[in-house]
Amino acid sequence: MTGNHGVLDGKVALITGGSRGIGFGIARKLGEMGARVSICARDASRLESAASELKRNGISALGVHADVTRAEDVMLLVQETESSLGPIEVVVNNAGTGYFGPAHEASEPNWDSVLDTNLKSVFLLTKAVAPRMIERRTGHIINIASLSARNAFAGGGIYCASKWGLLGFTQCVAEDLRAYGIRVSAICPGSVATEFGSPDSKKDPRKMLKPDDVAHVVAMLVTQAPQSFISEISIRPTQKP
């Protein structure tokens, strides 16, 4: 536990891709801060296991099976979360996937999978939660981008396109919503030691970021002073992996 324990008491946080990796770390952190957390994922068994683990640690948790690339799933996710836990105060768009290889060798389904998961899903969930946040004149929307949103690399064409697009979307939505007291931020992590990533990566996982490092930044964003908002944070490992 940290000094932030209890500061989110009574508030509801929704984290996509919350059954493992970065998303699970964020859900656990926000739950430790007193939030009631809703996590979603496409893998139903993994989702159930993650929600059970959160509950065993004293966190009020709900697992909702959903494909966030589908508008109807997103609407049901929001409805189930709010009917079970209450109005959503914090949204963390974390669900993501990647394709790593020359863009000219990729298929159209490769493109659609990455762009739908990393970018379209954020549009759908933002659209679903924004009206209620506008009514209440409060809320946090936090999008997990990547240092790849700023840096090109060979084989990263499709993934970088999704994250560059996410960064632009985040900045514009922040301008759309800031007058209503809603803060929209992007976190751009470097390499994180999770199951995600290129299968032939030569990076040393001991030198990579951990999910808890990203969760720490989320905690900072949701506890910032009310008269300001942090629009973008880049986070790198101390040593290059």
Instruction: Judge contact between 219 and 33, C-beta under 8 A.
Output: yes
Task: Describe the crossing of helices 71-84 and 121-136 by its angle, rounded to 10 degrees.
Answer: 40
Residues in CB range of 225: below 8 A, 6 or more apart: none
Instruction: Give yes or no for a contact between 38 and 85, defined as CB atoms under 8 angstroms apart.
Output: yes
**Surface-to-core class of residue 37, CB atoms within 10 Å of its CB (0-12 exposed, 13-18 middle, 19+ buried):** buried
CA 213 – CA 200 distance, rounded (Å): 24
Average pLDDT, the chain: 94
Residues 78-106 have a mean pLDDT of 97
Identify the pLDDT of residue 1.
Answer: 41
**Which helix (H) or strand (E) element contains residue 226?**
none
Given this model, what pLDDT does residue 193 score?
Answer: 80
Topology given in CATH for the domain delimited by 12-235: Rossmann fold (3.40.50)
What is the rounded average pLDDT of the residues 56-72?
A: 98
Could you say which DSSP state residue 192 is in? Answer: B
Which amino acids are annotated catalytic? 159
Residue extents of the structural domains in the chain: 12-235
pLDDT at residue 207, as a whole number: 84
Q: Report how far residue 104's alpha carbon sits from residue 51's, in angstroms, rounded to the nearest whole number.
A: 40
pLDDT tens digits for range 211-235: 999 999 999 999 999 889 999 999 9
pLDDT at 195: 63
For the stretch 2-12, pLDDT in tens is 456 789 999 99
Rounded average pLDDT over 13-26: 97
pLDDT per residue as tens digits for the range 182-199? 999 999 999 898 765 545
Which of 22, 48, 26 is closest to 37 using CA atoms? 26
Nearest to 92 by CA among 150, 156, 21: 21
- Does the pLDDT value for residue 36 go beyond 60? yes
pLDDT over threshold 50, residue 93 = yes
How far, in Å, CA of 103 to CA of 153, rounded? 11
